[in-house]
Amino acid sequence: MKPIIGIAGNERTMTMGETFWLSYTSRNFVEGIQAADGLPLVLPIGQPEDAKTYIQRIDKLLLGGGHDVNPKLYGQEPHPYLEEINEKRDAFELRLIDEAIKQGKPIFGICRGMQLVNVAFGGTLHQDISLFGPTKIKHVQESEMNKRTHPVQIKAASRLATFLPEAYSVNSYHHQTIKDVAPNFTATAHAPDGIIEAIEANDLPIMAIQWHPELTRSTFDTEQQLFTYFVQKL
């Protein structure tokens, strides 16, 4: 039986004469999970109290990109460089994470998903990369997201290192980054400037990355392997 992968959805508006709200996820996530022999199921943003039921109906949880995480969740006031937040999404996804842990369901976080996982377990973020310090690496890739633009070093003896080379390269589109890694998590990949590119829980089935394999998986087989590992092994 194929594992059912819950993808935490996002919301946006569409105007066609009238304005409509859409609940959605990227088709690239759907195809990555299908190619890994999983069944994707989109979980629309909803009431936190419904998270338990959603998690009961899936085998694993994927958290994707999008909004900035509300800095109040990690004890900071909003910085002028903070971009759009969605408090309803934060609250719902945090409850999904909580329920997934209670029910023993693995979690894979991508971009914002990594940042939210880190915050959920007591870590903090830089609200903008400029607050991390000077860097010569362009972490906001402006075009051709199916290409890889900067190197990362993957930690030996990590989950990632079981199927990716230690010297790797990734695409990049984020203006926030991890500051303090959550307790009982390990940073398992870094960019040359020191920015954290992946984390893994030490004693839970959780892994998370900063880059976007859903946009490179059709070009690079190793990027599809991230989905395959998540769906079949994590």
Of 139, 150, 174, 212, the active-site residue reads: 212
Query: How many other β-carbons are positioned within 10 Å of the β-carbon of residue 143?
Result: 6
- Burial grade of 48 (CB within 10 A; 0-12, 13-18, 19 or more): middle
The CATH number for 208's domain is: 3.40.50.880
18 carries an active-site annotation = no
Distance between CA 228 and CA 234 in Å, rounded? 9
Please write the tens of the pLDDT for every residue from 174-232: 999 999 999 999 999 999 999 999 999 999 999 999 999 999 999 999 999 999 999 99
Cβ contact 219:32 at 8 Å:
no
pLDDT score for 11 = 87
Confidence of residue 142 (pLDDT cuts 50, 70, 90): confident
The token pair at 88 is: 């309803």
Of 93, 197, 200, 214, the active-site residue reads: 214
Of 93, 99, 111, 197, the active-site residue reads: 111
Is the predicted pLDDT of residue 23 greater than 90, yes or no?
no
Distance between CA 202 and CA 113 in Å, rounded? 18
212 carries an active-site annotation = yes
87 carries an active-site annotation = no
pLDDT score for 172 = 96
DSSP labels, 44-60 = -S--GGGHHHHHHT-SE
pLDDT score for 94 = 98
Q: How many domains does the chain have?
A: 1
Strand partners, 187: 199
Q: Which residue has the higher pLDDT, 17 or 203?
A: 203
Q: 35 lies in which domain range?
A: 4-232
